[in-house]
Structure 1
Amino acid sequence: MAPRPPAGPAQADLVPADLADTFLTIRDLLRHAVGRFRAAGIAFGHGTTSALDEAAFILLEGLSLPIDDLNPWLDARLTRPERLRLLDLIEQRVATRKPASYLLGRAYIQGIPFRVDERVIVPRSYLGELMMSGGLVQEGAGPVPDPMAVTRILDLCTGSGCLAILAAMAFPEATIDAVDLSAEALEVAALNVADHDMQDRINLMAGDLFAPVAGRHYDLIIANPPYVAEAEVSAFPPEYRAEPVMAHAGGPDGLDIVRRILREAGDHLTEHGGLLCEIGTGAEILEEEFDLPFLWLDSQDSTGEVFWLSAADLGLRA
């Protein structure tokens, strides 16, 4: 694993000098950060859901500490350079309204770290949990009864490459083609693939959905496409507007790209393959429009936002 990238450029002018002498411990900085975030009305949703969780992430990641538990460190006294750095990150979060992951260059799915910056959406897909926690892979039952039988995977709209990497971990016999329309996103994905030493198993490909993989067939297709409706994109808070719009915009009702995937996926599945796709809140629209036996898979934080369809369900045409 490559070393963690540094945070964004220093902006010490954002931090009053006396604050670094007032707040001495992580507990002090946590209280300060939560108050600043609540007063500023910043938006969450990029890996955290509250001012407390956001503050904890910034403090722990900013100190290169494990992000799973703040409690052991609360009363740790910090050096002055550490306090200045953390105060700067807190003020940048308020002043720029960028997601904390952009300021720190790091995001996590299922506890696994990935590089991120403004070239990619901050990863937060429910598919990661389903692949890594048993919601999809169940020995002898469930959508994928035998993970060792999965040898070819296609990851559509790969972005930072995080789902392709998690798929490689969940399916140890598989090679993965990871496709994205954005050349800039694929640059970040290449860094993550290298960080996780997956170059021999993940093939990054530039193009529009299935275009780069004509004639290829897969045991599993995973997709986390843009699925936000136009009106919702227009109403985004600054944190979401900081992300690439093409990673969100899914047309008038958010489902334009999902429809394309549904119509084309059957041409690229093996006989016993299947499609796993995240769609947000459009389940009722899809069920009314498509006569398909959608199997909705719930995660810890979502209900009816991820579906599974087998090759037989999609009318295998390969």
Structure 2
Amino acid sequence: MDYTQIKELLSYTVLTVSGQAITLGNILLIPVILLMGIILTRWFAKILTKRLTSNKTDPNIIHLLQRVFYVIAMAIILITTLDLINVPITAFAFLSGAIAIGFGFGAQNIINNFISGWILMWERPIRIGDFLEVEDAKGVVEEINTRSTRIRRVDGVHLLIPNSKLLENTVVNWTLVDSMVRTSVTVGVAYGSPARKVAALILQAASEQSDVITNPKPIVTFEDFGDNALMFEVTFWLNSSAESGLRVMRSNIRFRLEALFEQNDIIVAYPQRDIHIDGALKITKS
């Protein structure tokens, strides 16, 4: 097959759209344009991400710019492809209207999640790296997509939560403004223990922890005269971006309390039961 035959074959009209002839060459040109456009888009996105990362830009801003760049790039590629194959954009006016109506009735959830994803990325009530509590799940946000948000739960399991659910339901964001969280440790000591001294030892155990914030400072309260113990509670603040940090700190304070109580002969209370017997015991001989 010579050049003339190839040219005639590529010039063969496959279909006509709004009076414009679509040839076989135009159709074969579509995947080439799309492939080149995708390669260039990814290359530019990689360069943009690298420069923003080197400037220590917020990862959430980088993520938003990537999404906007991909949407604009895809629109440019689509318009360019239609222009090169001589297809007028007005030819798709009726089709786009039909698709919009179909989406309105059959893809409400998809559209809702899509719009919610853009709201999350634009307003940033939830950011990458935030520690969230959604219903019974707790975890760190790893990625915010246009349809769903990926969260790594505290046990390592990944969750995909629809974006609309994050906007319509109550979500606890532990790190929305800062990573300061408050927690407490409760301990009971035996009756007869010096209450003031016990309170001072509990305050010492909390204050010695380097991660405990000094302003506001830890507070020790004498909670109650329990059934078997004098109940004390120490409340303190610390910087922690996950629940595991709270558990570790509470554990460290309890370890230190155990050592301080032992040094000062303070006894940690344990459940006791007193039995009172009314009347006299009679022993019968057989």
Q: Same fold (TM over 0.5)?
A: no
Q: Which has the higher helix share?
A: 2
TM-score bracket relative to the smaller structure: under 0.3
- Structure number, greater radius of gyration: 2
Structure scoring higher RCO (CA < 8 A, sep ≥ 6) equals 1
TM-score by length of 2: 0.24
TM-score by length of 1: 0.22
Q: Which has the higher strand share?
A: 2
